[in-house]
Amino acid sequence: MNCLSLSSTDPFFNLAVDEYLLKSSNEEYLILGINSPAVIIGKHQIPHRETDARYIAMNNIPVIRRISGGGTVFHDQGNLNFSFISNSAPGKQVDFRKYMQPVIKFLATAGAGVTFEGKNDLKINGLKISGNAEHVWRNRVLHHGTLLFDSKLDIMKKSLKKDNSCYLSRAVASNPSQVTNLKDHLISINNINELKQKMLLFFIGQDDKNSDISLSGKEITEINNLADSKYRTWEWNYAYGPSYQFMNKLKINGRSVNIHLTVSDGVIQECIIEGSELMNGVARKLAGCRHMPRDLSSVLRKEKVFLNDDELFTFF
């Protein structure tokens, strides 16, 4: 197995590494990486339903869709991401326990009593420290997960939506869990980079065939191209998601206004606003607009409707 420690903290590039190595090689890999703050959603999720749109917009936290299913996770520089890419026989690719057991074994060597619970979680004393997801491509499987070491849990909580009842869709919903950091449970690891290095050395030492590798210049160029053409685009991160209905109430000048949006491919297909003659007329103008804060604000301003931030983010 090729063991790769990424020096990049760019979440767009690092997610592209997983897909590139999955599809461009027959080799098997362990990939370790640390990302700057980002919300990472599952392939079949609705970004606005999973995130606090106002908080992430005000704090420039990107939302990035990965190629695997499952729920939303938060990445920052206190979180270690690991990915396994393996060849597997048809019908045997999806096996969370197979890939999580060696991670549990590694954490045990550092003093943490971690258990595998549910379908795809690692926990300490009932608190989640790792979420995992898988993606099958032909005879290959990508398994990736997180390890919360010293993540800013307050920012994580603020970035994720607490109430998604305004959304109606068949999209996959996240299953929120109580989380904790590993830092206080590891007796011999003091920081995230030490965790990354020790995990790399642990897996290299598991098999004589395992070796430490680096990406070539050609691979870096092609991964950057994939990141630019896919992972940095609105079309992938927002428009790819399932269709949905959005319903909420907005107060303008003390009057309650009902909002009903139908969104497909990230674009508002129909907008109905009841309770205000002015907003009712504006609703027709919002059809064809991307369901994004800047896009809505731009259309409303052209119609001489100026909403404050509280009012604007009522549409999300």
DSSP 36-48: SSEEEE-TT--HH
Tell me what the mean pLDDT of segment 300-315 comes to: 92
Alpha helices in 179-308 (DSSP H): 192-204, 217-226, 234, 277-286, 293-302
- pLDDT value, residue 121: 87
pLDDT of residue 253 exceeding 80: no
246 vs 70 pLDDT, higher one: 246
Token pair in block for residue 285? 């103008």
pLDDT of 233 > 80? The answer is yes
Q: On the CB side of 163, how many CA atoms lie within 13 Å of its CA?
A: 5
Average pLDDT of 241-254?
90
pLDDT of residue 157: 95
Of 293, 287, 248, the closest CA to residue 60 belongs to 293
Sign of CA dihedral 200, 205, 206, 207: positive
Domains of the chain: 2-239 (3.30.930.10), 244-315 (3.30.390.50)
**Would the pLDDT of 91 be above 80?**
no
Residue-wise pLDDT tens digits, 196-214: 999 999 999 988 899 999 9
The pLDDT of residue 10 is above 90: yes
Residue 97 has pLDDT above 90, yes or no: no
pLDDT at position 184, please? 84
- The answer to whether 41 touches 66, Cβ cutoff 8 Å, is yes
Q: Which residue has the higher pLDDT, 305 or 292?
A: 292
Render pLDDT for 109-123 as a digit per residue (tens, 0 to 9).
988 889 998 878 899
Whether the pLDDT of residue 175 is over 90: the answer is no
In this predicted structure, the answer to whether residue 94 has a pLDDT above a threshold of 80 is: no
Question: What pLDDT digit, counting tens, does each position of 143-168 carry?
Answer: 999 999 999 999 999 999 888 899 99
Report whether pLDDT(38) > 90: yes
- pTM for the model stands at 0.93
Q: Give residue 230's pLDDT.
A: 98
pLDDT category of residue 279 using cuts at 50, 70 and 90:
confident
